[in-house]
Amino acid sequence: MLYSEIVMDHFRNPRNVGEIENPDGVGEVGNAKCGDIMKIYLRIEDDVIIDVRFKTFGCASAIASSSMATEMIKGKSVREAAELTNKAVAQALDGLPPVKMHCSVLAEEAITKALNDYLGKKGRPLLPERNQNQLAHDHGNR
């Protein structure tokens, strides 16, 4: 099998799937050309993420990365959530195949975007976002 048992568990039984009505923060990244789109919704009270939901179009790795990332930031403060890295997501999934690492990057970026949406509404300084070029997939030359 291409994927670890943890990836397959999160793919088969993704946690926190869905939307939040009138979310405090929302972030969408990816594009259909690359085959991955992630959308993260946040409910934040007193700077603490009390609920997080996601919707993802993508492969098993993308769905598992979204699921794991939402688990990792639920109940965390905005500051703590901002420190989540794609490497931590991939590690928590017991690794991803090299060609699928971009899925964990997308999860990190979707959360950063959602947090920035929240921070922007509050008039607070935004977090640095990854350069989109870093997310570009290797589409080869064929």
Partner 1 sequence: MNGKVYMDYAATTFVRPEVVSAMMSYHSISFENPSSLYSYSNGNRRAIEEAREAVADLIGALSEEIFFTGGGSEADNWALKGLAFSQAGKDKRHLITTETEHHAVLHSMEFLERMGFRVTYLPVDSEGFVPIDKLKEAIRDDTLLVSVAFANNEIGTIQDVEAIVEVCRDRGVLFHTDAVQAAAHVPIDVKSMGIDMLSMAAHKFYGPKGVGALYVKKGIRLENLIHGGGQERSRRAGTENVASIVGMGKAASLASEEMEFDSLEICKLRDRLIDGVMSTIPHARLNGPVGDRRLPNNANFSFVGIEGETLLLDLDDAGIAVSTGSACASASLDPSHVLMAIGLSHEMAHGSVRLTLGRSSSDDDVSRVLEVLPYIVERRRAMSPLWDDYVARREVL
Q: Catalytic residue numbers?
A: 34, 103
Binding segment for partner 1 (CB under 8 A), chosen from 36-44, 68-76, 82-90, 119-127, is 36-44
Cα-atom radius of gyration of the chain, to the nearest Å? 14
Cβ-based nearer residue to partner 1, 123 or 139 = 139
Minimum CB distance to partner 1, residue 69 (Å): 14
Is residue 61 a contact point for partner 1 (CB under 8 A)?
yes
Query: Is the distance from CB of 34 to CB of 120 less than 8 angstroms?
Result: no
Q: How far is CA 86 from CA 22, 30, 56, 90, in A?
A: 27, 15, 16, 6
Distance CA 124, CA 128 (A): 13
- Measured CA to CA, the distance from residue 37 to residue 10 in angstroms comes to 17
Is 101 a binder of partner 1 (CB under 8 A)? no
Scanning 7-15, 73-81, 111-119, 126-134 for contacts with partner 1 by CB under 8 A, the matching segment is 7-15
Q: How many residues bind partner 1 (CB under 8 A)?
A: 32
Q: What is the C-alpha to C-alpha distance for residues 69 and 111, in angstroms, rounded to an integer? A: 8
Residues found near partner 1 in the complex (CB under 8 A):
8, 11-12, 14, 17-18, 28, 32-39, 54-63, 99-100, 137-140, 142
